[in-house]
Chains A and B, each alone.
Chain A
Amino acid sequence: MSEQPDEMVDAYLRHLLQGAAAPDLAGVDARQRVELERTFTLLDAVAGIDPDLVPPYEDDAVARALGLSPPAPASDLADTRRRITREIERLRRDALVLPDDEAAELPDARSDLLVRVGGTRIRVTVVGPGELAHPEGLLREADRLFYRFPETAAVALVAGDEDLSTQVVEPQDCRPAVETPSGLRVGPRPGRPRLALGAAMTSYLDTIEPVWEEPGTLVEDPDRDFDVAVVAAETATEVVRRLKDEAARARISAKGIAFAALGNYEIEELTRLVMDVARGHIATEEVGERIGRLTRDAA
Chain B
Amino acid sequence: MDESFAYKGAMGHGLEHLLSNAEAGSINWSEVYECLKTPLWYAAARGARQVGVRDREAIAEAVQQAFTEFMDLDFAKVMSPDSIARTIAYRRGLDRGIAARRRWTRETAMESLPADLLRAEPAQAPGYAESAEEEFFSVEELRRQEERWRRARECLDALTGRQRRVVHESVMRARTLTEIGNDLGISHTAVRKHRQKGLEALRRCVESAAVP
Contact = CB atoms under 8 A, between A and B. Distances in A.
A61 interface: yes
Contacts of B12: 74, 77
A137 B24 contact: yes
Given A48-B172, A53-B45, A71-B34, A19 B52 contact: yes
Given A47-B172, A62-B64, A19 B127 contact: yes
Nearest to B129: A19
A17 B172 contact: no
Interface in B1-57: 9-14, 16-17, 20-21, 24-31, 33-34, 37-38, 41-42, 45-46, 49, 51-52, 54
B30 A46 contact: no
A186 B1 CA distance: 50
A42 B199 contact: yes
Most buried by A among B27, B68, B148: B148
A17 B28 contact: no
Interface stretch (A126-134, A200-208, A214-222): A126-134
A17 B41 CA distance: 18
A44 B207 CA distance: 14
Nearest to A17: B174
B156 interface: yes
Contacts of B21: 136-137, 140-141
A43 interface: yes
Nearest to A49: B45
B171 interface: yes
Contact of A20 (B29, B34, B127): B127
A62 B63 contact: yes
A9 B199 contact: yes
A13 interface: yes
A231 to B, nearest CB: 70
B60 interface: yes
Interface string A13-34: 1011111110000000000000
B145 interface: yes
Contacts of A50: 45, 54, 172-173
A72 B33 contact: no
A110 B9 contact: no
A134 B49 contact: no
B99 interface: no
Most buried by B among A41, A53, A62, A131: A62
B200 interface: yes
A41 B151 CA distance: 13
Nearest to A69: B30
A19 B54 CA distance: 13
A13 B52 CA distance: 11
A51 interface: yes
B196 interface: yes
B138 to A, nearest CB: 12
B94 interface: no
Contacts of A280: none
Contact of B11 (A17, A63, A77, A140): A77
A86 interface: no
A69 B52 CA distance: 33
A278 B28 CA distance: 78
A295 interface: no
Nearest to A139: B24
A178 interface: no
A54 interface: yes
A150 interface: no
25 contacts: A1-B203, A9-B199, A19-B51, A19-B127, A43-B171, A45-B145, A47-B172, A49-B54, A50-B54, A51-B152, A51-B172, A54-B41, A54-B42, A62-B33, A65-B64, A71-B11, A71-B28, A77-B11, A107-B14, A108-B20, A128-B31, A131-B26, A136-B25, A137-B21, A137-B24
Question: Can you list the 4 inter-chain pairs with the closest CB atoms, starting with the nearest?
Answer: A137-B21, A19-B127, A45-B148, A71-B10
Interface of A: 1-2, 4, 6, 9, 13, 15-21, 38-39, 41-51, 53-55, 57, 60-63, 65-66, 68-74, 76-77, 107-108, 110, 126, 128, 131, 134, 136-138, 140-141
